[in-house]
């Protein structure tokens, strides 16, 4: 009885607009909390998707490295390294070394006329994309 009387006095003393304001405040607060939870859930799902992609990339990298290891263990690779870096040859083969000629490279650069070098840059781009 005392509680009923207490609530009755509170209800009489506070205007009805206060109760409406209080209920609207609670509803708005609830929407804010639900929105924050939805946003946090979205961010976590986004992070999970990124981590799944990283896992897939790492698995592909592992497969690639395992295939390289398998290739490095083959006789073909050993022979290639022996021929290329160690200059080994099979019996009956002869190795031919061709010297590098820097003069030939300078001749090809000397063929460029000064008129071509003095062109504006946009002409080089046009030639690059569309040809001469």
Residues of the chain with pLDDT under 50: none
Per the domain annotation, does 108 fall within a domain? no
Per the domain annotation, does 117 fall within a domain? no
Contacts of 87 (CB under 8 A, 6+ apart): 95
Distance CA 59, CA 102 (A): 46
- Give the range of the structural domain holding residue 29, as residue numbers without chain letter: 2-97
pLDDT in tens, 23-56: 999 999 999 999 999 999 999 999 999 999 999 9
Distance CA 56, CA 64 (A): 12
Domain count, the chain: 1
What is the predicted pLDDT for the residue at 13? Answer: 72
| Continuous H helices in the chain | 2-13, 16-72, 75-84, 102-110, 114-117, 121-130
What is the predicted pLDDT for the residue at 22? Answer: 87
Per the domain annotation, does 113 fall within a domain? no
């Amino acid at each position: 009885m005392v509680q009923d009387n207490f609530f009755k006095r509170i209800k009489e003393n506070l205007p009805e607009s206060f109760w409406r304001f209080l209920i609207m405040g609670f509803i708005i607060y609830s929407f804010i909390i639900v929105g924050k939870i939805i946003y946090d859930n979205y961010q976590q799902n986004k992070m999970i998707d990124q981590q799944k992609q990283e896992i897939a990339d790492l698995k592909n990298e592992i497969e690639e490295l395992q295939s390289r290891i398998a290739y490095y263990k083959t006789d073909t690779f050993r022979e290639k390294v022996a021929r290329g870096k160690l200059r080994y040859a099979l019996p009956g083969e002869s190795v031919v070394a061709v010297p590098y000629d820097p003069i030939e490279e300078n001749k090809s650069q000397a063929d460029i006329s000064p008129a071509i070098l003095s062109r504006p840059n946009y002409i080089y781009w046009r030639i690059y994309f569309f040809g001469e």
